[in-house]
Amino acid sequence: MYKHPGAGWSIRPFSAADAGSCLSIFRDCLTQMPWRVRNRGQYMILRRALSPQAAWVAQEPDAGVVGFLTLQAPQDYVDHLFVAPDWRFCGVARGLLEVAHQGASGALSLDVDTENMGARRAYEALGWQVVASTGSGSKARQMRLVSP
C-alpha cells in the first residue's frame, strides 16, 4: 500500500463499497467546472470505469475516500483523476499517478480541458508534457498530456 506519512492518506485498489464516495467526489469536482456540460452519461462512464483491477482510491482514516483514479489498460490512459476539494495540494494526485504508473507498461497519458487551469498547472508541476490539442488556437478544447 502507498502511504503518505505526513498527510495521513493511503492508496489502495478500489472496492465496490467506494463507488458512492467516488461519485460524490466526481459530482463536487464537476460543480467547479462550469465549462463542462453535466449529463448522466458522464456518471455511467465513471461507474463502468470503477473496478478493482483498474481504479485506485486515496483514503484518510477520518475523512474516508478523498480521491480516486481510473486507468484504461492496455493504453495506460488515465480517464479519471479527481481529488476532493478539501484535500487538494496534499499530494493525493501525485500519489495516485505514481501507483497507476507502477502498474503500467509505459508512460501514462490523459486529456485535460483547456479551461482546466488548475489541473494543467498540476500536471506541469508533475512534469507532464503536452503532445497534442483538439481544436485549434483559442478553440482548442482538450490537450493530450503524457507523463515523464
**Interface residues toward ligand COA, by CB under 6 A:** 29, 81-83, 88-94, 110, 112, 116, 118-119, 121-122, 125-126
Contact assessment for residue 120 and residue 81, using Cβ atoms and an 8 Å cutoff: no
Nearest distance in Å: CB 113, ligand COA: 7
CB nearer to ligand COA: pick between 35 and 89: 89
Q: How far is the CB of 32 from ligand COA (least distance, A)?
A: 6
Determine the 3-state secondary structure of 89 from DSSP: coil
Give buried/exposed letters for 120-141 (b at 16+ CB in 10 A, else e): bebbeeeebeeeeeeeeeeeee
| Shortest distance, position 3 Cβ to ligand COA, whole Å | 14
Spatial separation of the C-alpha atoms in residues 123 and 126, rounded to whole Å:
5
Helix, coil or strand: residue 38 = coil
To ligand COA, the closest distance from the beta carbon of 138 in angstroms equals: 20
68 contacts 14 by C-beta, under 8 angstroms? yes
